[in-house]
Structure formats: C-alpha cells, structure tokens
Amino acid sequence: MGKVIVVTSGKGGVGKTTSTANLGTALALLGKSVVLVDADVGLRNLDIVMGLESRVVYTSMDVIEKQCELNKALVRDRRVDGLMLLAASQKNNKDDMQPEQMKAICDKLRTTYDFTLVDSPAGIERGFRNASAGADEAIVVTTPDVSAIRDADRIIGLLQNVEIEPINLVINRFSPQLVGNGSMMDQADVLDILNIDLIGVVPEDSAVITSTNRGIPLVYEDGSPGAQAYMRIARRLTGQRIPIPDLEQKGLFSNILNWFTKKR
Amino acid sequence: MNLSIKQLFGRKPKSSNIAKQRLKLVITQDRVDVDDRFMTRLHHELAEVLAKYFEFSANSVKMNLKQEGNSYILVADFPYTKFHDMSMRR
C-alpha cells in the first residue's frame, strides 16, 4: 500500500508545484512508482512545469464524471520509469469537485503506486480541502518570510484538525547569504515558530527558473544546489536517514573562527 | 536579551530577529482567534459536564478569551445555584 502526500502551503508562489514536480521525479529516479496529481482545478500548472502539457488528454474531472477510466487519464512521463501525471481540469472550477471524489481517486492510486503526491492550490478553501481529502501525510512548503510562515501555520492547524500525520516542512528559497548577515530567518527560527518536523531546506537557485522554462525538472541535472536538496528530501521520504546540512553562509570572521573551533 | 546587548554597542537589531518576534506574536493571536462555532461547541460541552455537578441557568454563562501579555486565557463564568451531592448518587 502506497502513501498519499499532499503538498500545500497556504500562501501562493512559495514553490508547491516546483516542489511536487521535483520530489515526484526524484522519487521515480530512486526507483519508486509515483503519480503526481494536480488538484488546482481551473488553474492547472503541474503539467507545464513537468513539460507534459502537450500530452494531457483527460483530467481528474473526466474520471469523476466517468468519461474515462482512471488509468487512461494518467499521462506517462517517458523520461523515467514509473512516473505518471493526473492533470486538473482547466475549464472547471474548484467547487465542481467534492472532497470525497478526490479521496476516491487517491484511494485507488494508493493501491498501485508507492507515492501519490497531490499538488494543492493556495488558500484554505475548497481547493485545499479537495487536495487534502485523500492524504495520509502532508508536506508544507514555506519560504523564510513573515507572510509565508504565517500562512503555513494556519495550514498546519487545519491539517492537524483532520489528523493528517506526519506534517513535514520544506523551507524553500533559502538564501545562505541573507541568513549569514541576519537579514533572513534561519531554519531554527522557522522551526521554533512552526514547531513541526523539517524534511529539507532548498536553497534559492536560479536553475529552478531555467528548468521551469524548459519543462525539465531540476533533479534530472543533479549538479545544482536545488536539485541536490530535492534529491535528499526524496531519499528522506523513502525512509533513508540523511542529515539536513547547515546551509547558512557565515561572514569571514565567523568562518575563520569556525576553522579553528569546528571539528571537521 | 540578545537585542539589548547589540543595541548597547550601537548596532541595529537584525531584521531576521524582528521578523521572528513579530511572527511569534501574530501567530499566537491567530491560533487563539477561534471562530464562533468552536466557542459554541465548547460552551455546550462544558455545560454538559458541569451540569452533572452544579445547577446553573444556561443564560448566565459567560465565556471569553482574554489576553494577558503574550499569553491567552480562557475565562468561563458558570454562576451556580447549588451543587449536586455526588455521594447521594452512589
């Protein structure tokens, strides 16, 4: 029996879709069978971020309306074994779907695939409730700024109310330089406020933009810091115990100090 | 503490520290800012339990969330007319 994990955040633009695409691809690269489900009905984007937009024929709404079988609606990603996408309908809106309908889809996918990652829309309304209806676990994506963290806290409360557990945190767009000079909260600050388990920190990486432009998830080219961070998170999702590296970039003085004091 | 030492040396507090302090305050507030439905449910359930022990009229009950400094307190007034003698029940 596989796991259904909802990827959510509250606030928009923090990297839910990018994280879903990269974690799903990374899990498939690790040999797992994976389905990515776009739950953002009416504003779908997971297909274009994955570079699969030209191959979408059916959507989850077609499955719900019994226009096609679930298996037929899945788009196979030909670049890696065992990776599928279930697109959201672009012509419907979020109220056209019931949470129970999404849950039924997740329940079916869970029996076949190791991981079902559900990309949630921003917000705390119907779209979020649809996305989380079938989830066993959650990944909350945040960036280290006040509005994203406040919204993440709200979402965490809602997930706890429906007993989704564990809820793991991804801190995205982390800037080692800004943290180093005190202009950005570090991971300890964020964890102190949100008080859930951290599963990874993804550094700000311009390669995310170029990979999205091309529709090729970052993790296919594993040189970039962002790709490495997503690969580590994927390994942790499979149960491997990999420490979370300290990405903070300290000033010259503390670097020199570290040189003398740190056991290396 | 951290801030005041730095201020002594004439340095501006780090903006990340300010962000953290502000967030902590606002999130505590968000977390206790419960909706009416929740309060009504809590009210009913508390009244149900307390009715086993006390006699009180339902419309004299008052429930409020109060802020004292950084913490929040639930204040519930259940003015009772008499209490049921539990020893008689056994």
Domain boundaries, chain A: 3-261
Share of chain A above pLDDT 90, in %: 91
Residue B19 at interface with chain A, using a CB cutoff of 8 Å: yes
Interface contacts A/B by beta carbons within 8 Å: 36
**Mean pLDDT lowest among A50-64, A68-82, B4-18:** B4-18
The answer, yes or no, to whether residue A128 has pLDDT greater than 50, is yes
Can you name the CATH fold of A3-261? Rossmann fold (3.40.50)
CA A131 remoteness from chain centre: 13
What's the pLDDT tens digit per position in A26-74? Answer: 999 999 999 999 999 999 999 999 999 999 999 999 999 999 999 999 9
pLDDT bracket for residue A264 (50, 70, 90): very low
Residues of B with Cβ-Cβ distance to A182 under 8 angstroms:
14-17
The answer, yes or no, to whether residue A239 has pLDDT greater than 50, is yes
ipTM (interface predicted TM):
0.81
The answer to whether B14 contacts A183, with C-beta atoms less than 8 Å apart, is yes
CA A113 remoteness from chain centre: 17
| The pLDDT of residue B2 | 53
Query: In chain A, which residue's Cα lies nearest the Cα of B27?
Result: A150
Give the predicted TM-score (pTM) of the model. 0.81
What's the pLDDT tens digit per position in B35-54? Answer: 677 778 888 888 888 888 88
The answer to whether A184 contacts B17, with C-beta atoms less than 8 Å apart, is no
CB-CB contact of A179 with A185 (8 Å)? yes
Residues of A with Cβ-Cβ distance to B27 under 8 angstroms:
149-150, 153, 193
* B15-44 average pLDDT score: 84
Please list, in sequence order, all residues whose beta carbon lies within 8 angstroms of the beta carbon of residue B33, skipping any fewer than 6 positions away: none
